[in-house]
Amino acid sequence: MLPRVKIFFENGNLGLVAPSPDGLLGIACTGAAVSTTFALATPYFLTSLSGLTPLGVTEANNASLYKIVKEFYQQAGEGTEVYLMAFPDTVKHSDMVDITNANGAKKLVDATNGKLRGLIVSRTPAVGYVGTTNNGIDADITLARANAQVFAEHYTNTKYAPLFVIIEAYGYNGNTVDLKDLTTENYNRVSIMLGDTVVSSKQAAVGILAGRLAIIPVQRNIGRVKDGALTPIAAFVGATPTELADVGAIHDKGYITFRTFVNQSGYYFNDDFTATLPTDDYSHLTARRTIDKAFRIAYNNILQNLLDEVPVNEDGTLPATMVKAWQADVENAIVQGMTVNGELSADVTTGDNGVTCYINTAQNLVATSQLKIQLRVRPFGYPRYIDVYLGFQITGA
């Protein structure tokens, strides 16, 4: 076995019953080649909608692709970085995120050398496509969820470049009862979006979701009301306007969708679910993105110690002074990369940085060549249910 640093994600610890590299996303979608300027299965880097112009990509020759990019920049703003790769209309959602498919989204992630934090997946089949419906949506989405989890875990475990995947709930039949309950699955690196800006669309407005994710910090929920309404002036769930749709039922089944609030104009996201159990520590993108950022920082910091010569005690264990120095070094890296940015729940005025690194000094490094490090970061809480008890105050009665 090659010498290495490996970080394991702990689970079960929570007891749950401005553009930056943290928001760098890749879009994998259906497209059509344009002469010699835009090729399929080829990665392209964009910073604005106008970046499609030199590629020869227009709304006329690439309608669905253009819509995704347009809505991304309407939400994220010009200057936001994103990678794009298009595929023929025969390539299914599950094909794009099949880790064994060398010409799928794997090619896009590899081209960025692991810089992508998330992948957005959309497909527009050829006119006349009639898919098989399963659980209220195209049957391929079931396989795509499983493939996407394997895809994301591959880059986390072998490339040390963790990422999440957003997939549209393609082909929704309009019946919420038929929808698969995603809160019974175990895909904590995958989110499914349902709802579009076009009435009766079989796709989802993943460009808007991507645009919101690209510009908010890792700990920020996509549905945060203080961030204001989303850009679309109309939103639908299948053929039904969002205002009339059974958003509550869709929400309860773990999908990301649009919602409205009484006396608030515009549309918002309902929450940031991943397709997994509610008790999973990473059942929301906020937790997923937060822990993934901590992973990247910790890996880069701890990697510097790999195969270094380390003084040990007579029994092969590490000196306490060295352990304390290593612990402080790792913690400081997380503090500088996250705590100072307000991305962890902490109070630096009291010395609470929201991160703890622990190394057991009893480990015999000489005998095993293995060093186990426990690293914990503290997430934020999110008030999802607020109850207010209102009544009259009467004095002197």
| Maximum CA extent, the chain | 84
- What pLDDT score does 5 carry? 67
232 or 30: which leads in pLDDT: 30
pLDDT class for 395, splitting at 50, 70, 90? Answer: confident
Q: What is the pLDDT of residues 149-163, one digit of tens each?
A: 999 999 999 999 999
State the Cα angle at 134 between 131 and 136, rounded to 5°. 100
Answer yes or no: is pLDDT of 15 > 60: no
Q: What is the pLDDT of residues 342-361, one digit of tens each?
A: 999 999 889 899 999 999 99
Answer yes or no: is pLDDT of 243 > 50: yes
Please state, in angstroms and as integers, the Cα–Cα distance from residue 254 to each residue in 186, 243, 321, following that order: 12, 19, 47
pTM of the shown model:
0.94
- What pLDDT score does 349 carry? 84
Average pLDDT, the chain: 94
State the Cα angle at 295 between 289 and 297, rounded to 5°. 105
Cβ atoms of 253 and 181 closer than 8 Å: yes
Q: How far apart are CA 76 and CA 89, in angstroms?
A: 27
Answer yes or no: is pLDDT of 77 > 90: yes
Q: How far apart are CA 239 and CA 242, in angstroms?
A: 9
Comparing CA positions, the residue from 18, 6, 81, 16 lying closest to residue 342 is: 18
- Measured distance between the N- and C-terminal CA atoms of the chain, rounded to whole angstroms: 80
- What pLDDT score does 16 carry? 54
